[in-house]
């Protein structure tokens, strides 16, 4: 009989109308966030050995870190993630040999200004008894190039010139 299907559909809709609500009103209510959620990154600075493996594992070159040698140890001075290029794939977290890099459950990473987007996890001065300055382990992404790479490039040029002179 024509129309039987329509009536059945209406029956189902009627039943659903009285069933408990499945929609929640965000942000007043929020679903629980699972343990493995890929949220904002946190870095356990004490555990990090500045090996740079996370930066190498990243497909999009999101992570840039800088280090200085202090005594016999490497000291992490800068750890910046250009989060706008991050795919939240988790390869960096997975690669870290010391379990220093983690995801947290923080979902809100909105920023008003473009300059504020990079996630600065570490930015500090090395202790006084530093011996020599090292080159950054990972290539900084274009954003940072302008301000971070420029001095390095200059010093590289200077260094090559110096070696040229030595050759002469």
Partner 1 sequence: MIRTQEYNLNFGPQHPSTHGVFRILLTLDGERVVKAEPICGYLHRGVEKLAEARTYTQFIPYTDRLDYLAAMLQNWGYVMAVEKLMGVEVPEKAEYMRVISGELSRLASHLIAIGTYSLDIGAFTGFLLAFRERETTMDLLEELTGSRMTLSYARIGGVAADAPDGWLEKVDKFMDKMPTCIDEYDGLITGNEIFQARTREVGVLKPETAINYSISGPSLRGSGVDYDLRKAKPYGVYDRFDFDVPLGKNGDCFDRFDCRMKEMRQLVRIIKQAIQQIKEIDGPVIGKVPKVIKPPVGDAYAEIETSKGIIGYYVVSDGSPKPYRVHVRRPSFINLGYLDEMLRGYLVADVVAILGSLDIMLGEVDC
Q: Which residues in 27-56 contact ligand SF4 (CB under 6 A)?
A: 43, 48-54
Q: Can you name the residues that pair with 63 across neighbouring β-strands? A: 81
Q: Is 130 exposed, middle or buried (0-12, 13-18, 19+ CB in 10 A)?
A: middle
For residues 93-112, one letter each, b for 16 or more C-beta atoms within 10 angstroms of the residue's C-beta and e for the rest, the string is beebeeebbebeeeeeeeee
98's contact among partner 1, ligand SF4, none, with CB below 5 to 8 A by partner kind, is ligand SF4
96 binds, among ligand SF4, partner 1, none (CB under 5 to 8 A by kind): ligand SF4
Which H or E run includes 69? Answer: strand 63-70
Q: Are strands 41-43 and 101-103 parallel, antiparallel or unpaired?
A: antiparallel
Residue placing its CB nearer to ligand SF4 in the complex, 62 or 80: 62
Shortest Å distance, C-beta 4 to partner 1? 8
- Which positions from 3 to 42 touch partner 1 by CB under 8 A, shown as an x/- string? xxxx-xx-xxx--x-----x--------x--xxxxx----
Residue 2 vs 56, nearer CB to ligand SF4:
56
Q: Does 59 bind partner 1 (CB under 8 A)?
A: yes
């Amino acid at each position: 009989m024509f129309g039987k299907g329509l009536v059945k559909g209406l029956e189902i809709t009627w039943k659903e109308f009285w069933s408990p609500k499945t929609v929640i009103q965000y942000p007043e209510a929020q679903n629980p966030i699972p343990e493995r959620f890929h949220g904002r990154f946190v870095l356990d600075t004490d555990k990090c050995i500045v090996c740079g493996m996370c930066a190498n594992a990243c497909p999009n070159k999101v992570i840039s870190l800088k280090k200085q040698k202090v005594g016999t140890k490497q000291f992490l001075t800068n750890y910046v993630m250009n989060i706008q290029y991050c795919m939240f794939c988790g390869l960096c977290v997975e690669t870290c040999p010391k379990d220093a890099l983690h995801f947290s459950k923080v979902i809100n990473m909105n920023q008003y200004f473009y300059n504020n987007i990079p996630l600065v996890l570490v930015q500090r001065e090395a202790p006084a008894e530093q011996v020599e300055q090292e080159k950054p382990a990972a290539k900084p992404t274009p954003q940072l190039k302008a301000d971070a790479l420029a001095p390095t490039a200059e010093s590289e040029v200077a260094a090559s010139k110096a070696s040229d002179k030595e050759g002469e």
